[in-house]
Amino acid sequence: THQDGSCNGLQHYAALGRDAHGGASVNLTPSDRPQDVYAAVLKLVLKKLDEAADNGHELATILKGHVNRKVVKQTVMTSVYGVTNIGARDQIRNRLREKTGVQWGDDPDEKINECSGYLAQLTLGSITDLFECAKEIMDWLATCSSLITQEKLPVCWMTPLGLPVVQPYRRQKLFKVRTALQGVTLYTEGDQQPVNPGKHRSAFPPNFVHSLDSSHMLLTATACRKAGLTYASVHDSYWTHAGTMDNMNVLLREEFINLYNRPILEELGRSFELRFPEVDFPPVPGKGELDIELVREAKYFFA
């Protein structure tokens, strides 16, 4: 049997920033019932839609009454992994196309595109409202990435387990091979190519959080092995036998607490300063008031 994290990427961001409000939304704190982060974001989106519709906003008026949890869920799930405005628009457009009974007007495709872009902005804005600390950390990581790539070097860091990570993103070098029949454009990339600043910047926040959720997974695996538990996992889905589920629940919470009792962002910032003493990195984002020890009693943290 298995236990899954509750929007696990946002759980890690909330823990990094000690975000009490966001942490409660993803079940880092005790509650009588599981918190639904998708419903929480939807509530904010609907509030904004209603206000805009009341003020005569055309797109809000069309969308009013037709936006539900399913429409915003994928965007919430992928926001922590760097979904762009365009990506969010495409996700929401796919859901809106499934809707029936909506008055799209004479050109449905055009109006769906307009509504998708508008709703994507509202959804991403609502996620930021709910997880302010996460947005600050994402922005800080992205800024650090840009400063590092200005030095013509790739972004790299050490995970809490001591595993070095180097982002591989390099610019592609194009060249053409001409044959008797046609010309073929090929590309090559490798360490000899310049770094790709845009890819480094967009990939660093999600890659860094992935390095943290994988660290938690491996720390839990090690703890389970020491305790004699059978264990398997896929990302944030942790498995063991039904008879040892309670034991695994205790261990995965303890390892999460131990992981985030470390000053992870401070260690990362210090490592950047040591590698690039001439670069003026921005200060590490401040922390909220979440008590990470509450995870121990959070029944729906992994459930």
Side-chain-side CA neighbours of residue 236 (13 Å): 20
Token pair for residue 196?
A: 């790709």
How far is residue 258's CA from residue 246's CA, in Å, rounded to a whole number?
19
End-to-end CA distance of the chain: 11
Residues present in the chain in total: 303
Residue 85 corresponds to which amino acid?
N
Q: C-alpha distances in angstroms, 220 versus 13, 16, 83, 224, 259? A: 19, 18, 28, 6, 11
Q: Exactly one of 19, 135, 213, 236 is catalytic; which is it?
A: 236
Q: Exactly one of 4, 36, 90, 129 is catalytic; which is it?
A: 4
Contact 296, 144 (CB under 8 A): no
C-alpha dihedral (211, 216, 222, 223), degrees to nearest 10:
170
Catalytic site includes residue 4: yes
Q: Exactly one of 19, 48, 73, 213 is catalytic; which is it?
A: 73
Catalytic site includes residue 191: no
Helix (H, G, I), strand (E, B) or coil at 82: coil
Q: E strands of the chain, at which residues?
A: 2-4, 156-158, 164-166, 173-178, 183-188, 232-234, 237-239
How far is residue 184's CA from residue 164's CA, in Å, rounded to a whole number?
37
How far is residue 182's CA from residue 161's CA, in Å, rounded to a whole number?
51
C-beta neighbour count of 85 within 10 angstroms: 11
How far is residue 220's CA from residue 8's CA, in Å, rounded to a whole number?
15
Helix axis angle, 132-149 to 108-130, nearest 10°? 100
Enzyme catalytic residues: 4, 73, 236
